[in-house]
Amino acid sequence: MRRILIVEDEKDLGEMIARFLKRAGYDAVHCLDGAAAWSRLQKEGADLVLTDLNMPVMDGLELVQRLRVDPRFHALPVLMLTVKQELDQQVEGYELGADDYMAKPFDFPVLLARLQALERRTLGTTT
Amino acid sequence: MIGADGAAGRENPRGSGSPVARAAAMEPFSLWLIAADPGLRARWGRWLAAEGFSVEMPASLSALPRGKAGSVLLDAALLKEQDLGALKSLSESRVPVIVFGEGPTASNESVVRWLQAGADDFIPASIQEKVLIAKLQAFARRVRPDSERTSLYSRKRRIKADVRHGRAWTRSESGAWEETSPLTSTELKLLALFLSLPETLLERGFILQRVWGEKADDIFSSTLTQHIMSLRRKLGTQGEALRTVYGRGYALREE
């Protein structure tokens, strides 16, 4: 079972995503900001990261930047959640190492299809 | 190359080249653009070529050259039922396919359908140039993990350089990126070196070798000092992060 780390400071949304992804067959865990996610990754690792962009303490951009310079996580697939208008931040996210982004609000079936495509592309799974 | 105390420079870096030289030496990443609209073909072809991609425009999926690594940009309007098998087969042979479209082809249902059929991504045809380029560069990094990053950021994301186009930006107090005055090629090489080895003491000999290569022995130490001072000036208040470590070298350290 793939382990997916969800980093989302809106508690209700993060938990809702985790519930949805658990139903879809993932081992989904939720953290409220990038610092908590970074700490959890050191201890438990993950197969994929789904992170919001704007968060307190450590935002999604800093998290992805840290991942890409750490040999343990530099290939870890990352999908970012952004607000539609934040084009510059999307570009910055890609340049720092994110693999894909989704604009909020989003539909869960689209999120699942994007995660599965990302898995195929980066982890070599067939879905 | 990086010592236990975080200093770089005790080993001879000759031959490894600077981030700028490595980016320039990269083989172009191949893209096959299959699009119905001639205007889009011309526009995207121009954007992609300017970013160093090698772009070919076959008429259909079946006309794709075999055995060549790259990615496919495919117009949803040209996809027929019989192409879905080809899409799956490309996906299985790890050739990334990005489907693009607009209007009814971009509904959530159709996005899910294309992704499930084997597409790696679905993007609107109206995508902005900078987002398309950044996305394709992210794809290229996955297909070619050894590829050099062309956009480099400082650790606190206050300084950014585009080594392909020789441009640099600093973060203003409002959080917006402001482009610096044009950097000389030496300043760009220096900045790229500091951005690729942040928070690390770079010894003067190491910097000379990385920036001037074979000519390093002919360069006066004061020449390096002059280039560093000029780079600091162009980086404005963010230039303070470029610190002198007296008697040894320089380090990019952000508070």
Q: Quick check: A88 contacting B, CB < 8 Å?
A: yes
Chain A residues within 8 A of B119 when measuring between CB atoms: 117
More confident residue, A39 or B107: A39
Across the interface, of B108, B119, B131, the residue whose CB is closest to A107 is B108
The structure tokens listed for B200 are: 């690390």
**pLDDT at site B13:** 37
Cβ pair A115, A50 in contact under 8 A: yes
CA-CA distance, B36 to B41, in Å (whole number)? 8
Angle, nearest 10°, between helix axes B129-143 and B38-50?
Answer: 60
Instruction: Name which of A73, A108, A121 to mutate to probe chain B: the one with the most chain B Cβ atoms within 10 A of its Cβ.
Output: A121
CB-based contact (8 Å) between A123 and chain B? no
- The CA–CA distances, whole Å, from B85 to B31, B77, B119 equal 20, 16, 11
Per-residue pLDDT tens over the stretch A45-94: 999 999 999 898 889 999 999 998 888 998 999 999 988 677 888 899 99
* Chain B residue whose CA is closest to A93: B134
| CB nearest to B119's CB, from A65, A110, A117 | A117
Task: Tell me which residue in A91, A120, A127 faces B134 most closely, judged by beta carbons.
Answer: A91
B71 to chain A, minimum CA–CA distance in Å?
A: 12
What is the ipTM score, two decimals?
Answer: 0.90
* Percent of chain A whose pLDDT exceeds 90: 72
Which contacts (CB < 8 Å, 24+ apart) does range A36-39 have? A36/A7, A37/A5, A37/A7, A37/A63, A38/A63, A38/A66
Query: How close does chain A come to B9, measured CA to CA in Å?
Result: 20
Please give the mean pLDDT across all residues of chain A: 91
What's the token pair of residue B97? 């396919």
**Which parts of chain B have pLDDT scores under 70?**
1-26, 65-69, 103-105, 145-148
pLDDT number for residue A121: 81
pLDDT for residue A114:
94
pLDDT at B235: 96
Report CB contact under 8 Å: B116, A116. Answer: yes
Give the whole-angstrom CA distance, residue B119 versus residue A14: 27
Q: Which of A61, A65, A100 sits opposite B121 (nearest CB)?
A: A100
Of A97, A107, A121, the CB nearest to B96: A121
**pLDDT of A125 strictly over 50:** yes
Tell if the CB–CB gap between A127 and B120 is shorter than 8 Å.
no
Q: Give B155's contacts in chain A (Cβ within 8 Å).
A: 65
Smallest CA–CA distance, residue B222 to chain A, in Å, is 33
Q: From B127, which residue of chain A is nearest by alpha-carbon distance? A: A87
What is the spatial distance between Cα B83 and Cα A113, in angstroms, rounded to a whole number?
Answer: 19
- Over residues B21-50, the pLDDT tens digits come to 666 666 778 899 999 899 999 999 999 999
Q: For residue B177, list chain A residues with Cβ-Cβ distance below 8 A.
A: 88
